[in-house]
Amino acid sequence: MHQHQSLGLVIRVHAVYETPFWREAGLSGTCFNPTDMVQEIYNNTNYQDPRGTLVAFVPDEPVGPIYWTSPDLAAEGCQHVDGAVRMGLDTARRMVAAGAGSSPASMVV
């Protein structure tokens, strides 16, 4: 019998790749590992999307800095899509700058 974590006790993380590379190897994109930080991974690729998306569930523990962003913080485009895009790009730049020297696999932007 497979036991899994309660969704209320984990953080959901999405990683988006150019292609769903796991399919080329005949894999489903589903993984379970009860001993590491990332304990569950599932294929979350949208129908007819050429990109591949994996969703992982990480235990609700401190794992490093958390970057929050919102279109409400935008000076221009507050509460609009252009403000959301601008703030998302700004936050991604801050994350990449803070992760300088980290392995590329850990930086999804």
Let me know whether 54 and 69 are in one domain. no
1 in a structural domain: no
Let me know whether 46 and 15 are in one domain. yes
| Structure tokens given for 97 | 């700058």
2 in a structural domain: no
Tens-of-pLDDT digits for all 109 residues of the chain?
A: 345 545 556 778 899 999 999 999 999 999 988 887 788 899 999 999 999 999 988 777 666 777 888 878 777 766 778 888 888 899 889 888 887 545 444 444 4
29 in a structural domain: yes
Number of folded domains that form the chain: 2
CB 57, CB 5: distance < 8 Å:
yes
Polymer length of the chain: 109
Nearest Cα neighbor of 93 from 70, 75, 72, 67 is 67
